[in-house]
């Protein structure tokens, strides 16, 4: 991309001034990591691509869900989002200029298979070849997530994640993608946060497809857990020298008090949030010991499922943002507890009401390392939403920069203490469509004006670029 093109996108000033005085003023530098530690940024297809019906793409459950009045803040949709579908070359050039060596992105299942199964869409397949090739040409390593929540809507009409057939559907999709792109891409993640998309989408009804109820959740969760392992097996078979993992949403959980009721409530929260999709992978099954009512998930078992749930991934992706303080409550069945909002606890919190607690990411790495069955870890998502303000063409997001510094410091402490953590990815590269929050929350290192598609690098992005460059 030449200078005129940068100017056109509104990128010139912050980029040409990458190490300007206002950035040098943020130089409380952390220790640099010179080995094979991976630094990167993360995104997801539905959240950035747009082009929701372009070039033969089928509709996803999110394309349909955003049409339902009241489900998304301000009535926002991902129809255009960051228009990465058209601007991917410019955005990858921006990654290059920021010297970010790894780019985590997801494939849109309905862009590749408009109906979820059957004939692939050549233009969709070719799009990801172009994205991957552009990354490689610019010395940026692509890390691909196979499923980041945008299930083809045609499959949802057949029951989606509640239908056992999804294990076969997903297996065919993974087989195609890892065969098609596996000679170029070696780093793969099977699922993004299975608890999030099954819990919010099939239990609470807050996310697509908007289903509710424990039966929907248990069916969807079990099938997602089977797909997690099945996808791992297929990807490992197809990708020579592949680095195959999956990602889990995790939060550090503490009880409000030492009372028996609060402590037990916190243990139940931990069982759901941190153990539910972790322990089946390593042969421990679901955490029924802590939440006996989960035994109903066995209604969805078939012979051999205990073994089919297990897979020895090359890595586990930890995605952490916050800590939860839990107290006993009779109003929340199953977990019999509720979280205490950070604003009631006199602690720092982000724009979306998540506590800033960098010690939690260290404690979570310790927790997962204690299983002794995971080979290595990557922090595949970590970041913060704050109310960004543009002033004189700049965004001085000091709170986000300090957040990143504190969490990175905790990750590197875990590494120094002997935990095999091998990388850190910021959520997110660009401000984007944040699911039910629409465009109200901004997590990006790069500010996006959604009306003009102008990109403006935030001070946090400049700081991260400078830090990982080794200064």
* Structure confidence by residue, pLDDT tens digits, 295-344: 999 999 999 999 999 999 999 999 999 999 999 999 998 999 999 999 99
Contact 291/335 with Cβ under 8 angstroms?
Answer: yes
In a domain, 1, yes or no: no
Q: Which residues are catalytic?
A: 193, 381
2 inside domain: no
What tokens appear for 296 in the block? 């109903």
Asked if pLDDT for residue 445 goes beyond 60, the answer is yes
Assign residue 7 a region (left: φ > 0; alpha: ψ between -120 and 50; beta: otherwise): alpha
Question: What's the rounded Cα separation, in Å, for the pair 189 and 104?
Answer: 9
Residue 386 lies in a domain: yes
Label the pairing between strands 377-381 and 315-328.
Answer: parallel
- Find the CATH number of the domain harbouring 143: 3.20.20.80
Asked if residue 60 belongs to a domain, the reply is yes
Q: Determine the structural domain holding residue 252 and report its residue range.
A: 13-468
Task: Tell me what pLDDT residue 470 has.
Answer: 83
| 134 assigned to some structural domain | yes
* Cβ atoms within 10 Å, residue 38: 19
Residue 17 has pLDDT above 60, yes or no: no
Query: What is the rounded distance in angstroms from the CA atom of residue 426 to the CA atom of residue 437?
Result: 19
Residue 5 covered by a domain: no
- pLDDT of residue 3 exceeding 50, the answer is no
3-state secondary structure of 440: coil
Task: Say whether pLDDT at 25 is over 60.
Answer: no
Mean pLDDT of 101-112: 99
As a whole number, the mean pLDDT across the chain is 94
Task: Give dist(CA 455, CA 457) in Å, integer.
Answer: 7
Distance CA 212, CA 219 (A): 12
In a domain, 406, yes or no: yes
Listed in sequence order, the DSSP H helices in 107-259 are: 109-112, 122-137, 153-156, 166-181, 194-202, 214-238
Mean pLDDT of all residues in 153-163 = 98
Q: Per the structure, how many domains does the chain have?
A: 1
Section 96-109 average pLDDT: 98
Q: Distance between CA atoms of 349 and 352, rounded to whole angstroms?
A: 8
320 domain residue, yes or no:
yes
């Amino acid at each position: 991309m030449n200078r005129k093109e940068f100017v056109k996108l509104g990128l010139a000033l912050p980029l040409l001034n990458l190490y300007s005085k206002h950035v040098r003023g943020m130089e409380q530098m952390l220790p640099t990591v010179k080995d094979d530690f991976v630094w990167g940024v993360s995104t997801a297809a539905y959240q950035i691509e747009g082009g929701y019906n372009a070039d033969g793409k089928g509709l996803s459950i999110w394309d349909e869900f955003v049409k339902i009045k009241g489900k998304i803040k301000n009535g926002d949709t991902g129809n255009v989002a960051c228009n990465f579908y058209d601007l991917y070359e410019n955005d990858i050039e921006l990654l290059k200029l920021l010297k970010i060596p790894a780019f985590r992105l997801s494939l849109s299942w309905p862009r590749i298979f408009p109906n979820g199964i059957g004939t692939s869409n050549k233009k969709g397949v070719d799009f990801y070849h172009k994205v991957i090739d552009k990354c490689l040409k610019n010395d940026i390593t692509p890390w691909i997530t196979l499923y980041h929540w945008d299930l083809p809507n045609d499959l949802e009409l057949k029951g989606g994640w509640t239908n056992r057939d999804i294990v076969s559907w997903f297996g065919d999709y993974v087989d195609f993608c890892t065969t098609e792109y596996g000679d170029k891409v070696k780093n793969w993640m099977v699922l993004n946060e299975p608890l999030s998309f099954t819990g919010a989408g099939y239990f609470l009804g807050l996310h697509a497809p908007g289903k509710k109820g424990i039966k929907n959740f248990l069916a969807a969760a079990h099938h997602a857990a089977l797909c997690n392992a099945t996808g791992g097996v297929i990807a490992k078979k197809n990708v020579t020298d592949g680095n195959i993992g999956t990602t889990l949403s995790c939060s550090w959980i503490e009880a409000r008090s030492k009372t028996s009721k609060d402590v037990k409530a916190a243990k139940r929260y931990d069982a759901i949030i941190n153990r539910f999709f972790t322990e089946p992978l390593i042969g421990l099954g679901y955490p029924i010991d802590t939440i006996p009512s989960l035994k109903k998930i066995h209604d969805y078992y078939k012979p051999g499922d205990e073994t089919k749930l297990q897979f020895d991934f090359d890595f586990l992706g930890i995605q952490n943002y916050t800590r939860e303080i839990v107290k006993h409550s009779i109003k929340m069945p199953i977990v019999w507890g509720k979280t205490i909002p950070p604003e009631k606890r006199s602690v720092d919190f982000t724009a979306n009401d998540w506590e800033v607690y960098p010690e939690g990411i260290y404690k979570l790495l310790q927790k997962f390392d204690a299983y002794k069955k995971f080979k290595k870890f990557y922090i595949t998502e970590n970041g913060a939403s704050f109310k960004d303000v543009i002033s004189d063409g700049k965004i001085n997001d000091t709170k986000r920069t300090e957040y990143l510094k504190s969490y990175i410091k905790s990750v590197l402490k875990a590494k120094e203490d002997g935990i095999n953590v091998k990388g850190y990815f910021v959520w997110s590269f660009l401000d984007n469509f944040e699911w039910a929050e629409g465009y109200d929350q901004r997590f990006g290192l790069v500010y996006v004006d959604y009306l003009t598609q102008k990109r403006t690098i935030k001070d946090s992005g400049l700081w991260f670029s400078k830090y990982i460059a080794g200064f």
